[in-house]
Structure formats: structure tokens, C-alpha cells
Amino acid sequence: MVQNKLSSAQVLEQAEELSFPKSVVEFLQGNIGEPYGGFPEPLRSRVLKNMARVEGRPGASLAPFDFGALKKDLQQRHPHISDKDVMSAALYPAVAEEFFDFRDKFGPVDKLDTRIFLTGPKVGEEFEVSVLKILSLVCDLTR
């Protein structure tokens, strides 16, 4: 909306025709709870139209989740799964699976600085990985 230089009035006026990101739609549905003061109306109604809405605490209507079964399933496909990985997979299954595949292929990339991870080093560039990060890696691998 900002990129298209739309004012808040224009967003409200065109809400039924605009393409909102999935995360915004899920937020307006109440999938992560209700914001203090409620949802902005009539924007919410115009964006969601007849889509389902979550009333109350989002987790209250969910079936119990078996984290142990998820961990076993993940360990069959990925050799080094931590409890943090299980939580990531429970919350964001597709994103987590893509990350685990990447990590399996390229190693523990979380030990690299963000720029090196995202763009790679420049030709001939030297960079350091701290001893603490290496020790953390060894601890992760021995679990």
C-alpha cells in the first residue's frame, strides 16, 4: 500500500479489490489473537468478506498437538533436530522444512554473519567465525 502511495482512506475504499498479503488476512481473521481495542472496522469486514474468523483465544479451538510425534517425523528426514526446530516446524511447517533442507545441504549456516550468509563472501574475502559459535555448533551436533 505504501509502495503504491495509497492513503488509509484509499485502502479502506478499495479494500475489496486490493490483494492483501496472506499474513495480513490471517491477522484480520484472528489467527494470532485479537489486538487491544479490537480489529479495525470496516476494513476487517471488507478484506475478509465471508472468510472464517477466529473468536476468542486462537489456541482454544485447536486440537492437542503431539510435539513428540513431530520431532520423530523430523528426525527421520533431518539428522540434527532440536526442540527449537520442532517449535519452528509446528508454527511454520513449510518455511521450517525448507530451512532444514537448506541446513542439511549447506551445514549450520546460523554460525555465519548475516551478510556472509545472504550474499556469500566476496572473492578473496576472509572472514572469521567466532570460537563461541564453533563451540555452539559442536554442542548442537552432539545432542
Per-residue pLDDT of the chain (143 residues; tens, 9 = 90+): 777 788 888 888 888 888 888 888 999 999 888 888 888 889 999 999 999 998 888 888 888 999 999 999 999 999 889 999 999 999 899 999 999 998 888 777 777 778 887 888 888 888 777 655 445 554 555 55
Question: For residue 136, what pLDDT is reported?
Answer: 53
Q: Which amino acid is at 116?
A: I
Burial of 114 (0-12, 13-18, 19+ CB in 10 A): exposed
Write down the pTM of the prediction. 0.55
Domain with 112 in it = 108-143
> Whole-angstrom Cα distance, residue 68 to residue 83?
10
Q: What is the CATH number of the domain that holds 89?
A: 1.10.10
| Same domain for 102 and 72 | yes
Total tally of structural domains belonging to the chain: 3
| Same domain for 83 and 39 | no
| Same domain for 49 and 12 | yes
1: in domain: no
| Same domain for 112 and 97 | no
| Same domain for 56 and 14 | yes
